[in-house]
Amino acid sequence: MNPPASKADLEFAEAVIREAGEFTLSHFGSMELQIITKSDGSPVTVADHGAETLIRERIAEAFPDDGIHGEEHDDVAGTSGRRWIIDPIDGTQAFTRGVPTYSNLLYLEDEFGPSIGVINLPALGELVAAGRGLGCLFNDLPCSVSTETTLDRAVMSCSGFDFWDPDMLMRVRESGMAMRTWGDGYGYVLVATGRIEAMVDPVVQFWDVAPCQVIIPEAGGTVTTVSGDPNLALGSAVATNGLLHADVRSVIAGNSVTR
């Protein structure tokens, strides 16, 4: 059993991500917001760059020996054995179109593995934060996944259908699960707070889901890759209430449902 995460680290992460969220809100809905297309075709804005710079500066001030990996800037190696993962704006498409479901993500891993995870939805006034062994909080109150046990009463969300092959989509449709696209970090928050049962991203960047490695288990759920590996750095994510995890993965993979 790994030791609990530091409460001070969790409080620090919450404070920093709230500050970054306020910064992004100052640009949200701006008619003057400039959108740049990156080499991979995804959008980025001054709000993305500014929020990540802010988070990096706060980490460097508080933990100068920690490593940092973020979406928009170069890696900092670090010497402490700890590493922070930053996604300053998860859901930049939503952000640039004035849709309030974008989020700010921060994650810490230490020598024992996943330690701290925070997802902040500043335009919605929602924040989910968790520390290893400390439980999961939704706006400072304990939260947990749903207790639904049947697929035909479950709701599954995803960030979009770009990386879904037609057969996979058809299997989910035929499973009885309701399908929605409350995507990006917001979908994982919905799972952690018991409002939906599953969130699936067949292809995803690690910084988009890193906090879920703490948040979902601490809320009582299960999160793995599509193949069942707990390491989301491998490039996919399936987050569920735990009770339906095997069934959801079976549907996606085209295997027989276990119940």
- Do 90 and 68 share a structural domain? yes
**Lowest mean pLDDT across 65-69, 80-84, 167-171:** 167-171
Output the average pLDDT for the chain: 93
* Among the ranges given (33-42, 77-86, 132-141), the one the predictor scored with the smallest mean pLDDT: 33-42
- What's 50's domain CATH number? 3.30.540.10
Range with the poorest average pLDDT among 2-16, 32-46, 102-116, 220-234: 32-46
136 occurs within a structural domain:
yes
19 lies in the same domain as 111? yes
**pLDDT band at 253, cuts 50/70/90?**
confident
Question: Would you say residue 226 lies in a domain?
Answer: yes
pLDDT of residue 150: 97
- Measured CA distances, 190 to 97, 156, 162, 233, 245 (Å): 21, 10, 21, 21, 15
199 belongs to a structural domain: yes
Residues 32 and 105 both lie in one domain: yes
Is 90 exceeded by the pLDDT of residue 161?
no
Per-residue pLDDT tens for 141-150?
Answer: 999 999 999 9
55 and 127 in a single domain? The answer is yes
pLDDT on residue 67: 98
Nearest Cα residue to 254 out of 164, 146, 147, 153: 164
> Are 82 and 109 in contact, with CB atoms under 8 Å apart?
yes
**80 lies in the same domain as 136:** yes
Give the structural domain span for 192: 151-253
Q: What is the distance, to the nearest Å, from the Cα of residue 175 to the centroid of all Cα atoms in its chain?
A: 25
pLDDT band at 163 (very low <50, low <70, confident <90, very high): confident
212 touches 198 (CB < 8 A): no
Compute the distance between CA of residue 255 and CA of residue 251 in angstroms, rounded to an integer: 6
- pLDDT value for 99: 95
Residues 214-232 have pLDDT tens digits of 999 999 999 999 999 999 9
Identify the domain boundary among 87, 122, 142.
Answer: 142
pLDDT reported for residue 39: 65
Do 96 and 160 reside in the same domain of the chain?
no
The answer to whether position 258 is within a domain reads no
> Does any domain span residue 60?
yes
pLDDT, tens digit, 9 for 90 and up, residues 149-158: 999 999 999 9
CA distances from 203 to 17, 115, 121, 164, 208 (A): 25, 23, 22, 9, 10
Tokens 């959108």 belong to: 35
Q: How confident is the model at residue 93 (pLDDT cuts 50, 70, 90)?
A: confident
256: confidence class by pLDDT, cuts 50, 70, 90: low
259 belongs to a structural domain: no
Torsion angle in degrees (nearest 10) through CA of 134, 63, 92, 202: -60
Give the C-alpha separation, 156 to 173, whole Å: 10
Domain identity same for 67 and 169: no
27 and 111 share a domain? yes
The arithmetic mean of pLDDT across residues 119-124, rounded, is 98
Question: What is the domain count for the chain?
Answer: 2
Q: Which residues fall within 8 angstroms of residue 40, CB to CB, at 6 or more apart?
A: none
For the segment 48-55, the average pLDDT, to the nearest whole number, is 94
Q: Does 183 share its domain with 118?
A: no
**What is the value of pTM for the model shown?**
0.94
- ∠ Cα 203 183 128 (to 5°): 110
Residue that finishes a domain, picked among 81, 114, 142: 142
Distance CA 212, CA 214 (A): 5
- Same-domain status, 132 and 178: no
Q: Is residue 258's pLDDT more than 60?
A: no
pLDDT value at 240 more than 80: yes
Residues 13 and 53 reside in one and the same domain: yes
Query: Does 38 score more than 70 pLDDT?
Result: no
Q: Region 30-44: what's the mean pLDDT?
A: 72
**CATH number for position 188:** 3.40.190.80
- Residue type (1 letter), 35: I
pLDDT value of position 40: 67
Diameter of the chain measured on Cα atoms: 53
∠ CA 155-106-130, rounded to 5°: 65
Query: How far is it, in rounded angstroms, from Cα 193 to Cα 175?
Result: 23
If DSSP codes are grouped into helix, strand and coil, which group holds residue 55? helix
Domain boundary among 113, 142, 171: 142
| Same domain, yes or no: 53 and 98 | yes
